[in-house]
Each structure stands twice: as structure tokens, then as C-alpha cells.
């Protein structure tokens, strides 16, 4: 009887520990979701603006924009997080007060550069004959882009963009290097107590998150598959 009660007590403890870990990881995941959604909100339009700069006929703007993209794509996101968080305080004596804001700035800068190259590839993949046909019809550049080119670009950029967005989900875990309390940082708190399984448990949360996005982008691609080419 004593052995049965001991096993039941241990089972209750494990259930309690599992619930505690699950709730803690959910709190951490919320920070990942905040960073993920805010990054998309700002990086998607900013990436398009950078694209227009890199495709500009005004050469100083074009070369400056492409230099910016080259630097951002050529350096690690982790390093960019350190730069955004520490450099204002070291150089300008204006320390960054909010860690999540610093992470958001670094992520927006990083992903807008990547998105801009995806946009540029999509725009440049459109045959020049379509632009010439629009000119013959008397359409302005704005009408040509928004009425003829844009939806074709969207169709072409969805697959690479979906891959980049799913990568963003996993990259949000890097925010812990500047002590943003995201899901992996929450799991690491338990590992300091000698409980390592929560670190592996975080994989379930990421798989569910990425799986949902995979289904969403698959649905979008089917909706856009109204013609081949």
C-alpha cells in the first residue's frame, strides 16, 4: 500500500511539474509570437521600400541600398542584436531601455533586407514585354505596377517568402542573447535546476507553430495557382 501511495504521489508531482513547465513555455512563446508578428508588420513593407531603392535609376541611392543589404545579409543576426542593444549606450551614451524593442529593431532591419531581395527577384522575373504592352495602352507606371505586375509578383514570391517567414519563427529564439524572455530562455531556467527535458519540449511548440504556417502558405499557394508560369 505504501508503495502504491508513493507512486501516486510521484505521478501527481510529475503532472504538476509538467503543467508548470507547459505554462512557463507558453508565456515564453507569447514573446516569440509578439516578436514574430511585429517583425512581419514592419519588415514586409520596409522590404518593398528597400527594393525600390535597390532598383532605382538614381545610382547613389541604388548603390547605398545594395551596400546596406549586403552588410545586413552578410553578418549574423546575433551580432546585429548585440549592436542594436549595446552600441547606442557605448557610443552615444543613450542605453537601450527595452530589450524587446532592441530585438524588434534588429529583426526588422535583418528581415527587411532579406525580403527586399525576394521582392526584387519577383519583380525582375516579370517579362519586359508586359511593361511595354502597358506603355502602349497608355498606362502610367503606378497603374502598370499595381494593376498588372503586382499579383504576378505575389504569386512568384510566396514560396520563398513562406520559407523565410518560417525561418523567422525559429530565429526569434535568438532574442534570448539579449535576455528577452522567449520560450528557450524559459526552458533554460528549468535546466539550471537539473531538469533538461523542457529544452526538448520546446520543439513541440515550434513544430506546431511552423506546421500551422506551412498549412496556411500551402493554402495561399493553391489560391494563387490560377495559371501556370
For 182-210, write each residue's pLDDT tens digit: 999 999 888 877 888 888 999 999 999 99
For 47-95, write each residue's pLDDT tens digit: 999 999 999 999 999 999 999 999 999 999 999 999 999 999 888 888 8
For 107-128, write each residue's pLDDT tens digit: 999 999 999 999 999 888 888 8
Tell me which DSSP letter residue 96 carries.
-
Q: What are the b/e assignments for 34-57, b being 16+ CB within 10 Å? A: bbbebbbebbbebbbebbebbbee
* pLDDT at 227 (0 to 100): 56
* pLDDT at 195 (0 to 100): 80
Tell me which DSSP letter residue 228 carries.
-
Cβ within 8 Å of residue 171, ≥6 positions away: 77, 107
Query: How far apart, in whole angstroms, are the C-alpha atoms of residue 67 and residue 72?
Result: 9
Q: Which CATH architecture has domain 22-119+140-224?
A: Orthogonal Bundle (1.10)
Mean pLDDT of all residues belonging to the chain: 87
Tell whether the model's pLDDT for residue 97 goes beyond 90: no
Query: How far apart, in whole angstroms, are the C-alpha atoms of residue 151 and residue 165?
Result: 19
| Res. 4 pLDDT band, cuts 50 70 90 | very low
Amino acid at each position: 500500500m505504501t508503495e502504491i501511495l508513493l507512486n501516486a504521489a510521484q505521478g501527481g508531482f510529475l503532472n504538476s511539474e509538467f503543467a508548470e513547465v507547459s505554462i512557463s513555455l507558453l508565456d515564453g512563446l507569447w514573446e516569440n509570437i509578439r516578436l514574430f508578428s511585429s517583425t512581419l508588420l514592419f519588415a514586409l513593407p520596409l522590404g518593398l521600400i528597400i527594393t525600390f531603392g535597390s532598383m532605382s535609376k538614381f545610382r547613389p541611392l541604388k548603390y547605398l541600398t545594395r551596400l546596406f543589404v549586403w552588410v545586413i545579409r552578410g553578418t549574423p543576426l546575433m551580432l546585429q542584436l548585440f549592436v542594436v542593444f549595446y552600441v547606442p549606450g557605448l557610443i552615444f551614451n543613450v542605453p537601450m531601455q527595452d530589450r524587446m524593442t532592441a530585438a524588434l529593431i534588429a529583426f526588422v532591419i535583418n528581415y527587411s533586407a532579406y525580403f527586399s531581395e525576394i521582392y526584387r527577384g519577383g519583380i525582375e522575373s516579370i517579362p519586359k514585354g508586359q511593361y511595354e504592352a502597358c506603355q502602349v495602352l497608355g498606362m502610367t507606371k503606378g497603374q502598370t505596377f499595381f494593376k498588372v505586375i503586382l499579383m504576378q509578383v505575389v504569386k512568384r514570391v510566396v514560396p520563398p517568402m513562406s520559407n523565410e517567414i518560417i525561418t523567422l519563427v525559429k530565429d526569434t529564439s535568438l532574442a534570448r542573447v539579449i535576455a528577452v524572455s522567449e520560450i528557450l530562455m524559459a526552458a533554460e531556467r528549468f535546466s539550471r535546476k537539473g531538469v533538461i527535458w523542457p529544452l526538448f519540449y520546446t520543439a513541440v511548440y515550434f513544430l506546431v507553430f511552423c506546421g500551422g504556417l506551412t498549412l496556411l502558405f500551402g493554402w495561399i499557394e493553391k489560391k494563387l495557382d490560377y495559371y501556370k508560369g
